[in-house]
Amino acid sequence: MNTIKILNDINSSDKPYVIYKTTKGFDLFTDFSKKIILSNKNIINFFKSIYSNKKKIKKTDLYIGFFGYELLNNLIGIKFPKQKTNFFPKGIFYKPETLVSLNENLSFKAPLIKNKNKNKKFKININRKNYTKIFNKFKKKIRQGETYQIKICTKYKNKSKIDPLDFFCRLSKSNLAPEAFLIKDKNYSVISCSPETLIEKKGRSIITKPIAGTLKKNKSLNKSKARQYFRKNIKETKEHNMIVDMERSDLSRICVPGSVKIKKEKTVEEYKDLFHYVSLIKGKLNEKVKTIDIVKSMMPGGSVIGCPKISTLNLLNNQEKENRNIYTGSFGYIKFNGDMRFNIIIRSILNFKNISEISVASGVVIDSSANQEFNENYIKAKALIDLFK
């Protein structure tokens, strides 16, 4: 069946669906027989309900969805102070009965949405002055040894009614990323061009692909020059090394001793507006490790938090006045045989109750500049903000 027709049919049907990037194109999941809204109370039972003893499983024998940031913190025993919230669910997973593989060239023309607020400018929750105050506070914490690197989250919001499939198709053409996904449900949608694979598990093999290092593109830059920049830049190198060491440590807690290895170190990946500094780490899981053990060890992903993880999470959560919702949570699937793939939710638009929000963060280390990090946040958000023009 023609991809355009499939997309038009699913979008006009009002059925909830998920689209997820694969190595060959995209997978479309729909006809959900279950929708599980996760909370701090039911998440343990959710993990217990997944595993199947079947030797062969169908392609739809899985749950697909997301863990929100707060839920993942609670899972590892980190509590939150009172924060501003829009009461978006802490996590949602779906059991699909239909899976359709689509080609890589998604094409869809959305019907015109008449909404005079659609092009309204985004408002940022932390301006440059307040960002600098938080930055200086965290710099002091770094000097005192409470953290070595920490990510300051800023959030852009506007009031807008959008067609998420139209946004996702345009985003895929302009800024396709390895972990791109779309969720469309009756009262919310998520559009994401996330680049980072946090977990990919097949059998007892597991990989993680930390990204730490961002460089804005210009006409004179190519991948080779970007690589030279990253390697010569002390701040970017320190940041990358710290995150790689932390994610190696996270993997080592659940893997066979000595099996965790760096397979690709400090490579450069190219995106629409920027270059990223990337490594690939692989390990072999201990035989008795369960799905919940993997999630607790690896999430929230270190590259968007800072390190050391626990003390840094506590510093962040006590500083941030607003709930992160999906941002720096994880989206992906868990198959009934235990295989899984999860990203880190960044470069994403959450539209809930006709409010769109884009959250971004950049890393603070001892050599960081407040002005530079604030600008880096905007660079990361720009590809998504441009969709509203």
50-83: pLDDT as tens digits: 976 667 889 999 999 999 999 999 999 998 888 9
* pLDDT confidence of residue 168: 93
DSSP one-letter string for 206-252: EEE--EEEEEE--TT--HHHHHHHHHH-HHHHHHHHHHHHHHHHHHH
* pLDDT confidence of residue 116: 44
1-26: pLDDT as tens digits? 588 888 888 988 989 999 999 988 89
211-225: pLDDT as tens digits? 888 888 888 888 999
* pLDDT confidence of residue 142: 92
* pLDDT confidence of residue 164: 94
Which residue bears the tokens 């009262």? 187
**pLDDT of 172 strictly over 90:** no
- Grouping H, G, I as helix, E, B as strand and the rest as coil, residue 91 is strand
Look at the chain and report how many structural domains it folds into: 1
* pLDDT confidence of residue 353: 93
Domain hosting 311: range is 3-388
**Whole-angstrom Cα distance, residue 144 to residue 388?**
42
- Mean pLDDT, all residues of the chain: 90
* pLDDT confidence of residue 23: 86
More confident: 208 or 117: 208
**Whole-angstrom Cα distance, residue 194 to residue 191?**
9
280-300: pLDDT as tens digits? 999 999 999 999 999 999 999
CATH number, domain of 104, equals 3.60.120.10
* pLDDT confidence of residue 113: 52
185-218: pLDDT as tens digits? 999 999 999 888 999 999 999 999 998 888 888 8
User: Using 50, 70 and 90 to split pLDDT, how confident is the model at 176?
Assistant: confident
221-243: pLDDT as tens digits? 889 999 999 988 887 888 888 88
Polymer length of the chain: 389
Q: pLDDT exceeding 70 applies to what percent of the chain?
A: 95
Peptide bond into 178 cis (omega under 30): no
pLDDT (average), residues 100-109: 79
pLDDT (average), residues 295-310: 89
Of 280, 286, 295, residue with least CA distance to 248? 280
